[in-house]
Structure 1
Amino acid sequence: MQAMTYSRYGGPEVLEASEVPVPKVPPGSVLIRVQAAGVNPVDWKIMAGKLDALMDVHFPVIPGWDVAGVVEAVGFDVPEFSPGDEVYAYGRRDSVRGGTFADLTSLPVSMIARKPESLGWEQAAGLPLTTMTAQRTLDILDVRSGATLLIHNGSGGVGRAAVQLAAARGARVIATASERHHARLRELGAEPVQYGEGLASRVRDLAPEGVDAAADFIGGALEDSLALLRGGGRHASIVDPAVRERGGSYVWVRPDGRELERLGALVDAGRLTVDVERAYPLEETAEAFRASMAGHTGGKIVLTPFTR
């Protein structure tokens, strides 16, 4: 089969299309024919060697953790799925080697859920990691109806998901973003504010008594979060481990098919959607990575099957 691979750490230039063996299907696993794969910053950070201290990397690497596709085959002890089922997953393993940027990928059943019927392949592939991260953050912050939540970087993939999930819980959401994203954030259920110098003052204009919780999805927001929290308020970050030294939580999400089912129910109920900025064929993964690295996109970047 074809896959995108890299055999050393580096930038997008180390990626190449390769012929690799079809993955085996161990007990408790399924083989998925990839219809779309989501691009996340962690994909190119791993490729650059930035997670070398945390995860074993076995070259050559097939990158990618998010996937949406069709079950091709199942392990002999897998009654949960059958060939032809449409599924999606956040497929992070304990070590880095065989990812989702390929014709086929093999994943444990515990990571997989049925694809929401109301999402196309590209949207489904853009949901798992970012939206599960948002869900995990809101759970840690115990965001409930009536609470006021501040989201730093509401226009990013995790931020857009968190806006919708918090609004679905009945929370009031204030989200930072550049002005060109404000209209979309309003549509998703947030009150947008311009990020940058003077942010705390702008948020105070909207919430004079402060906020109940703050979620940092960009980094560098710790002091603003602390300045705006009410007494007993909670804060968390997916970027800055230093929050733990200041009473906050550092969030790292685990693969969990049950959590994807929980999110899929919200999708099919019309309470959660995924914005896709652009889709690239798998052979253009380097260009997709460059777009992700540039940031400031209007939605998720995803990959579709090879065209050659």
Structure 2
Amino acid sequence: LVKMAYLERLNNASEVVFEVEKSLQLQQGLQPLPFPGMDKTGSAMCTFYRVSTCRLGTLCPLRHVSGDKSIVCKHWLRGLCKKGDQCEFLHEYDVSKMPECFFYSKYNACSNKECPFRHIDPESKLKDCPWYDRGFCRHGPHCKNRHRRRVMCLSFLNGFCPDGPKCLRSHPNFDLPNADISAQRKQAANYIVCHNCGEVGHKVSSCPNLTSGEALHSNLPPFGRNFQAAPSDQTRRPLQEVTCYKCGDKGHYANKCSRGTFAFLAPTAALSHEARLKDEHLAHATHANVHHQRLAGRRAGEMKR
């Protein structure tokens, strides 16, 4: 009897809700963050964010996690992710949602015995060929998808299979598979016509019949919506009127300048050869005068002694 009474009291106590539990459910007493973008790795998940009723927004101290994130952020694992709740990857350590190991996927081997990333078997990533399942694949053994021989279900061919998707035999699909995206791109490239040579398969920017200068101007993007191209009969200025912005001389462009990139820094870059010789002669004369004055000063000091 004592046990029965004790169990009845326990059953009645299960319906009791404490004030602390109500405060936790309603998230009462939460203080907003001083500024958005702070690290909330060790915080719990916000229950109001799931129903889009969080009043604190980006200043909420709890994590705002959406359910469509299926891969763990590799930068968050190293503590380098700066996106916070705005990151499109999951900020939670889950072994089943870890990204794929790069070395195992490329080299089929990983030397790290404690590798935190997933090691997926390459054969498990192969998809069944829809054309082979339908009856015939034109690529044969060179097909990139998997050709798996299976026994067809006679009940499904007759019209109804009681096992449904749990059937151990194959249920063929007679609908035409979707075309490959890469094949569609190749087919679309065949309709591109070059406006320069008229050939099919490439644009003007990659036309092999263009000269180097024409190819450079063809790669330049237009400026604004009302851009009007220059007329084709426009001619360049003669070289005698062209001034090099590197050395200041006329007669050549800057890309053909033989004085180097920093020729404009030299103070005598634009001077003629005679002017440079004159400057050198004046500098030599000044140096000689200073030397004679020093010698005269030394002799005068020796005479006083």
TM-score norm. by structure 2 comes to 0.17
Higher helix share: 2
Higher strand share: 1
Q: Which has the larger radius of gyration?
A: 2
